[in-house]
Structure 1
Amino acid sequence: MGSFFSRFFKNFKVNSNAGDIAGIFSRENFFTRLPLALIAVDEEGGVIAGNLSARELIGGIAASGGEEFFTVVDKSSLTGEIQTSTISVSYPGARKISFWEVTALPKVTTGFDKDSSLEIPVLVMCRDVTLNRNMRAALADSRQRYKQLVEASNDFAWETGEDGGFVFVSPRGGLGYSAEDLIGTQPREKIIVDGRGDLVTPFSTRHHLENARIWFRHKDGGAACLDVTCEPLNKSGKWIGARGVCRDVTDDSKKDDDLRRMKEQAEAITHIVRTIRDVIEPQEMLAAAAKQTVGGVGGIACRIYRLSNEGGFYDAASIGPLPDGAEDLIGGLAGEKKCVKAEVSDKRGIAMPTFYQNHINGAITLWRDIDAPDWSEDECRLLSIIADQIGIALEQIENGEELERISSTDALTGLLNRRVFFEIIRDRMKHAQRTGNRNALCYVDFDNFKLVNDVHGHKKGDEALKYLTVLLKENTRANDVVGRLGGDEFAIWLEENDEEGAAASADKLLESTASLHQFSGSPEKPLGLSIGIAVYDPSSLESVEDLVSRADEAMYVIKKGSKGGYVISDPAPKSDESTSGVMEASS
C-alpha cells in the first residue's frame, strides 16, 4: 500500500469520475451539510474528495500515514460490505491525537441531480469519538483508582441490598470480620449492638448520614465506635439498599471521653478548691465542699468526717439523704489511701480517707441509689483527688481552731482568758436583757496562795492552779462560763441563777476545797478560796465591768475577814440610785 498522498493523487488522475465526485463535495448539498466528516475513495483505494468537515481530518490521516484508515477502506472495497473501526489520527504541527469511528460504505450512488447520478466506490463516514473515548478511559481509570484505594484503605466500605444484607464489603472487611464473613449476612446478626428488628441503622438508612458516630459490636465481643457516612440507594423511588464507609474511631472516641472526663474532673476540683479558698466559716466551707462533690462526681448524698483527738470519726458536714448505718462505710477504712465501696441499706457508698502530711485526719463518703450504676474507677480517682483537697481544708480548720484556742484561752489552765470571758459575758447579758432572766457572777480568789509559791516554788503553784481548774469545771454546768482573769483570780458566770442558786453553787464549791490543802505552804495557813457573788438584774443599766467590780468587792469583804467563804453583793443600783454596799452571807 502506498502513501496516503500517492494514492490520493494517483487516483485523482486515472479515475474519470473523480472530478465529478469532487464537485459534488464542493457544492451545497446533503454531503456538505452533514456534521460528519465524509471522504470519497475510488476502486483502487485512492482518496477522491471530502466535505468541509473532513478537511482537517484528511490532513491528520496523511500525517499519520493512513494505514488504519485504508485498512478499513480496502476491506470494505474487497468484501463489498460495510466495515467499521476506530482509528487514531495525529495532526501536523499539533501535539494531539484524536480518535475517529470510521464506517466504510461500498458503492454509494448519489442522486442529487435529476438527470444524472454518480457512484462513489467507497464512501467513508467519520465521527469524532475523542471526547467519548477519553471520558471512558478517565472513568475506567477512576474506577481502577477507587478500587485500589478501597482495597488499600483500612476503612470499612460496604453496600447492602433490598433485604438489608451485605452485598459488598471492602476486601479488608470490618470490625474483625473478613469480607467473606459479612457478605450475605444481616448486620444485626453480627455487629449491631441492639438486635431489634425495627432498629434503623446505617445499613438500612433512608437518609444521608455524614460523620455520624455509632457504637457497634466487634467480633471479639468488645464495643467499637465507627464514624459513618452513608447514602440510601433508590430506584424509581423505591429503596433498594444503602452504601457507605465506616472508619474505626474507637481510640479517638476513648481519647475524647478521657479528655471530657479530665475536663469535668478539673472543673469539679476547681470548684471545690475555690470553695475552700473563698468560704471563710469552716462549717459553711465543708458544707459547700460536700455539695460540690455531689455535683462534680455524681451522687445524691455526701458526708465529710473529721478525726477526733480520741481517734474516732465525727460528722463535720453532710448533704443529701444518707442511708441508715452510713457510718458502717467508714468502718472499712484502714488508714490507707484506698477507696472503699459498700452497699448500705438502700444506697451504694464510696469512701476515701483524707490525709495531711501522711496522717489521716478525716474521711469523705459519697452515696447514690442502689439501682444506680456502681462506682467506676474514674469516680474513685476523682474522689481521691477531692479527698486530698478536703484533707488540706481539715488541717486548715484545725489550725484555725488551735489559733482560736490559743488567743482565747489561758495557756496554763485552758480556761477562757480575761478578754474572751468578758466578750462572752457581754453577750450573755444581752441575752438576759431579752429574756429577763437573772444571772450570777462569782469572783473566786485563792487564800494563802503566795505562801504556796514561797514555800514550794512556782511549779507547785501552777499545779494548784490546774487543780482548781478541775474543781471549777466539776462544780459548774455545761452552760456556765468559767475564766481565769489573771494570777490566782477566777470568775464563773452562773446561767439563770439568783442569790439563792448562786449561794448553793458557792457552798458546793467550798465543800471541795479541802482537797486543796495538799498544796498549802503551811498547815496554819491552808490553801482555800474566797468568793464574791454579784447577781445580774437585766433591768439595771450595769455593764460587765461594773458587774465584775461588784463581785470583786464582795470577794475582798470575805477575804479581809475570816476567809474561806463567800459574800453576796447588794443588787446593782438603778439609774436613780446610789452605790450599794455588800452583805456577808457565809464564812
Structure 2
Amino acid sequence: MRSAVTGAEDLPKMDVWAGLAHASLDRFPGPALLIASDGRQVEANVHADVLSDALADRQSSLAALVERCKTSGAPTLQKLTINSKSGTRQFDIQALPVTLPDQLGVLLFGREVTLEHNLTNALVESRQMFKDLLTCSADFAWETDAQGIFRYVSPRGAFGYPAHELTGRPARSYLSEPDATRSPFSTQSRIESTTITIRRNDGGRATVHLAATPILNQKGDWLGARGICRDMTMSQYQDTAYIRLQARHQLITDLTALTRDLAENERILSTSAAVIASAMAANCWLLRREDNHLVADGDIGNSQIESLIESLTRDLGNDRLRRQSPIIEDLDGQPVVIAMTRLHGQINGALIVLRAPEHTFDDHDLTLLDEAAELLSLTIAQVENQTVIERLTTLDSLTGLLNQRSFLDFVATRITHQRRTGALSSLLLLEIDHFETLQDRHSPLTGDSVLRQIGDMLQQRSRAGDAIARLGGCRFALWLEDTATEGAVHKARHIIRSCEDITAGRVTGLSPVSVSVGIVGAEPRPGTSLNGLMEAAEAALRHATRKGPGNFALGAVIPADY
C-alpha cells in the first residue's frame, strides 16, 4: 500500500474495496459512511447520522481520524467518544482508504461500545470504591487459597500486623489456638457469624467476629475462602465496663436505700451483707466494732469465718488492718476479701466477702467493695447512733436497767405469751428502805451510788429471759419468767440477803442497805389486766414495808389477761 501522495492510478486494488463498500453499507448493523477526499458524503446507511453529525465539526476527533487515513493511505482503528443528540456514546471506528472514480475516499465503519465502556468504568469505579472502603474501614478483609495462606488482606493490616507481614503466611497461625481442628479461614461452607480469638502482634488476645464464604470455581471445586473480620475487643471491653457501671450504681443505690430506711430495718447489717452477696455472687458478712470486738447482728454460720473474725479482732490495732485498700487472703483455697470500714480514720467495722475457689476477685471487684465499705461505714455509724438513742429511750440512765415504760411494755408482751403457753411467772417490786433519809442526811451522790450498786447486783443475779427495771426513785421491779410463787419467794430472800453487802457506811457510817419486796404471781387465766397485776404488787410491797425493813410480802395470785 502506497502513501497518499501517490496518484489514484497507482491504487488499482482500491476499486475492489470501493465496490465492496457500496454493497456492504446497507447491511452493516452499525453506522457506516463513505466520504470523498473533498469531504462529500458519497454513501451512508440508516445508522450513519451519528458519524455525519460528528464530521460536521472539523475539529472533532472523527474528522482527524479521516484525515489520518487519507494521509497514510492505510486502514486505521480508533476508539472515539462522540457527543450525539442522544448523549455521549462510545464507538470503535474503522477507517478504510478506498478509490473512487475521480478521487480517493474513506470508508468508515462504527461499532458502538457504549455499554461495554460503561460497564468497564463501573467495574473500575466499583473496584476503586471497594479499595477505598477497605482502606477507610476498621474491618479486616482477607482471602486465602486452598492451603489456607493469606493471598489478600486489607491494606491497613490487622491486629497490629502490617499487611505485608500477613500476606503469604498461614492464616491458622494467627489463631490463639492454632492447633484447632478447623480454621474459619479455610471454611468450605458459608459462615454468617462466629467469634474467634486472634493472637495479636503485641502478644495479647483479640476477640473477633468473623463472616466468611468459600471460593469455588465453575466446576464447584474449592479454591479457598474470603471474608471479613471485625475486632470486638474494645466494644466488648466497653460493654463490660457499662455493665459493671450499672452494677455499681445499683449496688450503691440499694445500700443507700437501706441506710435511709434504717428505722424500718432491725437487721440492717445482715440485710446490707445480703445485698452485696447478691451483687458479687459470693457470701458476705458485715460486722460492726463494739468496744474491741467485731460483731454481726446474726449467726455467722461459718466456722472458718468465725476464726477469721477472731483473728481480725486481735489485729484491730495492728498495721495489717490499717491499709486503706481491701485485703485479699486465701481461706483454705477460697479467695476472701476483707475491707475495713472507717469513720474519721477509725475502724468501725469490717466487710468480709468469700467466693468459691474457681472465682477470683479482679480490680473492678476490689474497687466496688472499697466503695461499698466507705458507704457502709456510715451505715454502721447510724446503727450505733440508733442503738444509743434506743438505749436512752428504753434504759434508765443511772443504772442501765430498763426504765418504767420499757418494763411495762415487756411485761405486757410476756403476759400475752403466757396465755398461749400456760406458763407461770412472777412480778417483784423492790423499794430501798429509808432512802429519803439517806439522801437528806448525806447527799444525792450517796443515794445514786446505792442505786447503782443495787442495779448491778440485780443484773448479776438475773437469768436470761428475766427483766429488771428501775421504775423511778428508789423502786425497782423484776419479772421472773417461768417462775411460780415459791421460786419468787426464794428470789426475794436472796435479794434481801445480797443487799446486806451493799452499804453506804463505808463512807457515811450508815447501816447496811435494806430493801422491802412485794411479790405477786401471774397465772394464765382471764380476768385481770396488767394494771391489776401492778396494783396487786404495789399492795404486797406496802404490806412488806409495814412489817419493817428487809421484809417481803406475798400478794394474791392474779390471773393474767391483757
Common fold: TM-score over 0.5: yes
User: RMSD in angstroms over aligned alpha carbons?
Assistant: 3.7
Please give the alpha-carbon distance, in whole angstroms, between the structure 1 residues aligned to 2:434 and 2:246. 71
Please give the alpha-carbon distance, in whole angstroms, between the structure 1 residues aligned to 2:299 and 2:508. 57
- Of 172, 189, 192, which residue of structure 2 is paired with 1:188? 172
Question: C-alpha displacement at 1:264, in angstroms?
Answer: 2.1
- State the match for 1:224 in structure 2: 206
Q: Deviations over 1:525-572 (max 9, x none)?
A: 653211121222323633332223222222222322331122222434
Partner amino acid, structure 1, of 2:189: R
CA gap of 1:196–1:91, structure 2 versus 1, over 3 A, is: closer
Partner amino acid, structure 2, of 1:316: D
1:441 aligns with 2:433: no
- State the match for 1:8 in structure 2: none
Report the secondary structure of 1:405's partner residue. Answer: helix
Report the secondary structure of 1:516's partner residue. Answer: coil
Question: C-alpha displacement at 1:458, in angstroms?
Answer: 0.7
- State the match for 1:465 in structure 2: 451
Question: C-alpha displacement at 1:465, in angstroms?
Answer: 0.7
Q: Does the CA-based 8 Å contact 2:69-2:96 persist in structure 1?
A: no
Please give the alpha-carbon distance, in whole angstroms, between the structure 1 residues aligned to 2:240 and 2:536. 74
Please give the alpha-carbon distance, in whole angstroms, between the structure 1 residues aligned to 2:214 and 2:303. 54
Question: C-alpha displacement at 1:419, in angstroms?
Answer: 1.3
Q: Does the CA-based 8 Å contact 1:150-1:170 persist in structure 2?
A: yes
Query: What are the equivalent positions in structure 2 for 1:355-394 lying under 5 Å apart?
Result: 355-370=342-357, 372-394=358-380
Please give the alpha-carbon distance, in whole angstroms, between the structure 2 residues aligned to 1:574 and 1:315. 37
Q: Does the CA-based 8 Å contact 1:303-1:364 persist in structure 2?
A: yes
CA gap of 1:318–1:176, structure 2 versus 1, over 3 A, is: farther
Question: C-alpha displacement at 1:490, in angstroms?
Answer: 0.7
Report the secondary structure of 1:351's partner residue. Answer: strand
Q: Does the CA-based 8 Å contact 2:81-2:90 persist in structure 1?
A: yes
Please give the alpha-carbon distance, in whole angstroms, between the structure 1 residues aligned to 2:560 and 2:126. 113
Q: Does the CA-based 8 Å contact 1:521-1:527 persist in structure 2?
A: no
Report the secondary structure of 1:563's partner residue. Answer: coil
CA gap of 1:500–1:143, structure 2 versus 1, over 3 A, is: closer
- State the match for 1:4 in structure 2: none
- State the match for 1:242 in structure 2: 225
- State the match for 1:176 in structure 2: 160
Please give the alpha-carbon distance, in whole angstroms, between the structure 2 residues aligned to 1:269 and 1:317. 23
- State the match for 1:100 in structure 2: 91
Q: Deviations over 1:499-544 (max 9, x none)?
A: 3322221222222222322258975765321112122232363333
- State the match for 1:430 in structure 2: 416
Question: C-alpha displacement at 1:155, in angstroms?
Answer: 4.9
Q: Deviations over 1:63-96 (max 9, x none)?
A: 1162223434665x55xxxx4512435558x797
- State the match for 1:547 in structure 2: 533
Q: Deviations over 1:135-185 (max 9, x none)?
A: 424433543454455456665332112222201123432222222322222
Q: Deviations over 1:256-276 (max 9, x none)?
A: 321221112212332333344
Please give the alpha-carbon distance, in whole angstroms, between the structure 1 residues aligned to 2:483 and 2:229. 86
Q: Deviations over 1:383-404 (max 9, x none)?
A: 2222233333323322222222
Partner amino acid, structure 1, of 2:384: E
Please give the alpha-carbon distance, in whole angstroms, between the structure 2 residues aligned to 1:278 and 1:73. 106
Please give the alpha-carbon distance, in whole angstroms, between the structure 1 residues aligned to 2:502 and 2:342. 44
Partner amino acid, structure 1, of 2:325: K
Report the secondary structure of 1:52's partner residue. Answer: coil
Report the secondary structure of 1:157's partner residue. Answer: strand
Please give the alpha-carbon distance, in whole angstroms, between the structure 2 residues aligned to 1:213 and 1:233. 21
- Of 500, 524, 542, which residue of structure 2 is paired with 1:514? 500
500-509 vs 429-438, which deviates more? 429-438
Report the secondary structure of 1:86's partner residue. Answer: strand
376-385 vs 539-548, which deviates more? 539-548
- State the match for 1:334 in structure 2: 321
- State the match for 1:417 in structure 2: 403
- Of 255, 262, 276, which residue of structure 1 is paired with 2:245? 262
Q: Does the CA-based 8 Å contact 1:216-1:223 persist in structure 2?
A: yes
CA gap of 1:284–1:526, structure 2 versus 1, over 3 A, is: closer
Please give the alpha-carbon distance, in whole angstroms, between the structure 2 residues aligned to 1:359 and 1:532. 49
Q: Does the CA-based 8 Å contact 1:43-1:121 persist in structure 2?
A: yes
1:163 aligns with 2:141: no
- Of 314, 330, 339, which residue of structure 2 is paired with 1:352? 339
- State the match for 1:197 in structure 2: 180
- State the match for 1:560 in structure 2: 546
Question: C-alpha displacement at 1:375, in angstroms?
Answer: 0.6
Partner amino acid, structure 2, of 1:244: G
Q: Does the CA-based 8 Å contact 1:542-1:572 persist in structure 2?
A: yes
CA gap of 1:97–1:423, structure 2 versus 1, over 3 A, is: closer
Q: Does the CA-based 8 Å contact 2:31-2:50 persist in structure 1?
A: no
Question: C-alpha displacement at 1:308, in angstroms?
Answer: 1.7
1:306 aligns with 2:298: no
Question: C-alpha displacement at 1:284, in angstroms?
Answer: 4.5
CA gap of 1:69–1:572, structure 2 versus 1, over 3 A, is: same
Question: C-alpha displacement at 1:415, in angstroms?
Answer: 0.9
- Of 269, 277, 296, which residue of structure 2 is paired with 1:294? 277
Report the secondary structure of 1:407's partner residue. Answer: helix
Report the secondary structure of 1:385's partner residue. Answer: helix
Q: Does the CA-based 8 Å contact 1:520-1:527 persist in structure 2?
A: no
Partner amino acid, structure 2, of 1:339: P
Q: Does the CA-based 8 Å contact 2:521-2:557 persist in structure 1?
A: yes
- Of 34, 37, 40, which residue of structure 1 is paired with 2:34? 40
CA gap of 1:61–1:99, structure 2 versus 1, over 3 A, is: farther
Q: Does the CA-based 8 Å contact 2:401-2:468 persist in structure 1?
A: yes
445-454 vs 325-334, which deviates more? 325-334
244-253 vs 562-571, which deviates more? 244-253
Please give the alpha-carbon distance, in whole angstroms, between the structure 2 residues aligned to 1:316 and 1:362. 12
- Of 406, 411, 418, which residue of structure 1 is paired with 2:392? 406
Question: C-alpha displacement at 1:412, in angstroms?
Answer: 1.1
CA gap of 1:179–1:318, structure 2 versus 1, over 3 A, is: farther
Q: Does the CA-based 8 Å contact 1:302-1:322 persist in structure 2?
A: no
- State the match for 2:381 in structure 1: 395
* Structure 1: gaps spanning 5 or more residues: 1-10, 110-119, 576-587
- State the match for 2:68 in structure 1: 71
Please give the alpha-carbon distance, in whole angstroms, between the structure 1 residues aligned to 2:519 and 2:398. 25
Question: C-alpha displacement at 1:288, in angstroms?
Answer: 3.4
361-370 vs 532-541, which deviates more? 532-541
CA gap of 1:87–1:428, structure 2 versus 1, over 3 A, is: closer
Q: Deviations over 1:394-442 (max 9, x none)?
A: 2332222222221111111111111111111122222233333322222
- State the match for 1:537 in structure 2: 523
Q: Deviations over 1:198-233 (max 9, x none)?
A: 3453563732547x7654221111122446555443
* TM superposition score normalised by structure 1: 0.80
Please give the alpha-carbon distance, in whole angstroms, between the structure 1 residues aligned to 2:20 and 2:355. 104
- Of 131, 139, 142, which residue of structure 1 is paired with 2:123? 139
